[in-house]
Amino acid sequence: MPLHPALAAAVAIQVATAAYGVADHAAAGLAVALAGVAIFLGVAALTLHRFRRVNGVRVDGLASQIVLGAGATSTLAYVCAFGAATWAAFESRWWLVAAAAVAGGVGYAFGALRWWHAYRLDPAAHAGGASPRVLAALAVAACLGLVALMVAG
């Protein structure tokens, strides 16, 4: 399984299902959103497992910068796509939800590709990832943002 297309597809699915879940406000919407998260987490775990098996090393930068999207390009692509897809879902413009989700997945994968090229040029400088505290803060901010969207809608 190639890394970038699988990651792009997983992010696109997660963005689309999350936008639907936020706009739906019902148990079915929550189930769809959680299914999207499960798909993303499954692809992320498989990607990390395959990388470690093929290369025999654990690279924290791969986990945080690529899979968790802590890199600037991936983060920007995700946030913009999620915002556009959520707006489109509230307006019931499902074709636009899909387009925003695909654009977000492609942008996310592009950020991963940029990191990968930088890593191959200088592995020691790019092997480290974001600190666990930074990742925890990002996770809390994402959860609070999701809660705010659910309450506001």
pLDDT of residue 19: 94
User: Pick from 19, 9, 76: which is nearest to 47 by CA?
Assistant: 9
- C-alpha span between 14 and 20 (Å, rounded): 10
Site of tokens 């942008």: 107
3-state DSSP call for residue 1? coil
Tokens standing for residue 69: 């999207």
Helix (H) or strand (E) holding 26: none
pLDDT of residue 12: 96
Residues 53 and 38 sit within 8 Å (Cβ to Cβ)? no
pLDDT digit string (tens) for the chain, length 153 residues: 477 788 899 999 999 999 999 898 788 888 898 899 899 888 888 887 887 777 665 666 666 666 666 677 888 899 999 999 999 999 999 999 999 999 999 998 888 888 778 777 877 665 666 666 666 776 677 777 767 766 665
Helix (H) or strand (E) holding 129: none
pLDDT of residue 145: 74
pLDDT of residue 62: 63
pLDDT of residue 87: 95
For residue 68, give Cα distances in angstroms to 111, 112, 113: 11, 10, 14
- DSSP for 30-73? HHHHHHHHHHHHHHHHHHHHHHHHHHS---HHIIIIIIS--SHH
Tokens standing for residue 49: 């497992």
pLDDT of residue 48: 77
